[in-house]
Amino acid sequence: MPVTAYDKVGSGGDPGGPAFINGRKYVILVYGSGDTMHEAMYAEAMENGAAVCRLCPHHCMRKDGKLGLCGARMNHGGQFVSLNYGRVTSLGMDPVEKKPLRRFMPGTMTLSAGSFGCNLACPYCQNHSIAHGSVESRYVPPQEMARLAAKQDVPSLSFTYNEPLVGYEWVYDAARMAKEAGIKVILVTNGYVERKPLAQLLPYVDAMNIDLKAFTEETYRTVCRGSLEPVKRTIAEAAKTCHVEVTCLLVTGMHTEEELTEMFDWLAGVDRELPLHLSRYFPRHRYEEPPTDLVWMERMGRIAGERLSYVYLGNV
């Protein structure tokens, strides 16, 4: 594809503005307005113009013109397409510890990119505007991510902020190119993905932080509109091939001690060296319970620490 324009992408809410990220200047090559639709992987055409997406366990079946649950894929003319291929809504440099990853390349910075869309619907979402809202974006081709990370001497590239796996095609392309350029690849994800697409992507991923939102099917189903088992499978599969850390946001009123103890036991069964982040919740979006009680949080931290080697309390 020919280069049609040089442009600049700023950090945060000003994608057309000066390209300064944490005080450093960046110039990003973009290709005009970019593809607005990209053929979706893991999708099939059905009869009568319908199509099904099998990227995540929702298996959305949609008629022509209808969006999937994630808001990032739709049936367009009888085929599923990705709407967020290269559509970057946020771009910034973060310490890798902010992902959070505490035991992967500590002390380094990571180039972090987010798009839009999410396949869960947590009422306390901490990133709602890019998960399910509408935000401005600019097209950044996958090769540009690796080029930018290499040029700025950043050792890793993180797909984060929204749920990266609902933009699977761009993440897959950019991750492969980053690996070729010797850049490490990090995913910050809810882990709600089918087995095959995960297996196809894992060879290009060096580290993941995976959210484990609860440890009951009922909470996943009624609160987040997902299910627990696929997330457990993602954690177990990813831990075989790359560095994995797990985050559980301790949302006031959502977990019991018994449930969390079961979660810690299960994680220790996967690998007791697997780092666990217990994060403090603050009211956001549609959830108004007070912030997590710190004394209870510390107690959960102690119970986790009896089972796992590395437990971190976050947002405290």
CA atoms of 164 and 191, how far apart (whole Å): 10
Closest to 136 measured CA to CA, from 23, 15, 25: 15
Of 151 and 221, the one with the shorter C-beta distance to ligand SF4 is: 221
CB of 195 to ligand SF4, least distance (A): 14
Point out the residue whose Cβ comes nearest to ligand SF4.
68
38 part of the interface to ligand SF4, by CB under 6 A = no
If one asks whether residue 244 binds ligand SF4 (CB under 6 A), the answer comes out as no
Please provide the DSSP assignment of 140-206 as one string. --HHHHHHHHHHTT-SEEEE-SS-GGGGHHHHHHHHHHHHHTT-EEEEEE-----HHHHHHHGGG-S
Dihedrals φ, ψ of 109, to 5°? -100, 155
Q: Could you tell me the smallest distance in angstroms from the CB atom of residue 303 to ligand SF4?
A: 34
Q: Which amino acid is at 206?
A: D
Q: How far is CA 5 from the centre of its chain?
A: 29
Kindly state whether residue 56 participates in binding ligand SF4, applying the rule CB under 6 A. yes
Site for ligand SF4 in 96-155 (CB under 6 A): 119
Degrees to nearest 5, angle at CA 164 with 158 and 170: 85
235 touches ligand SF4 (CB under 6 A): no
Residue with tokens 């959210």: 211
Quick one: 74 or 140, whose CB is closer to ligand SF4? Answer: 74
| Residues 6 or more apart in contact with residue 218 via CB below 8 angstroms | none
Q: Is 73 in the site for ligand SF4 (CB under 6 A)?
A: yes
| The only residue of 58, 87, 213, 243 in contact with ligand SF4, by rule CB under 6 A | 58
- Using the rule CB under 6 A, give the single segment among 62-70, 197-205, 235-243, 265-273 that binds ligand SF4: 62-70
164 binds ligand SF4 per the rule CB under 6 A: no
Q: Which is nearer to ligand SF4, 165 or 250 (CB)?
A: 165
Least distance (Å) between residue 55 CB and ligand SF4: 4
CA angle 95, 228, 184 (to 5 degrees): 30
Residues of the shown chain interacting with ligand SF4 in the complex, contacts defined by CB under 6 A:
53, 55-56, 58-60, 68-70, 73, 119, 166
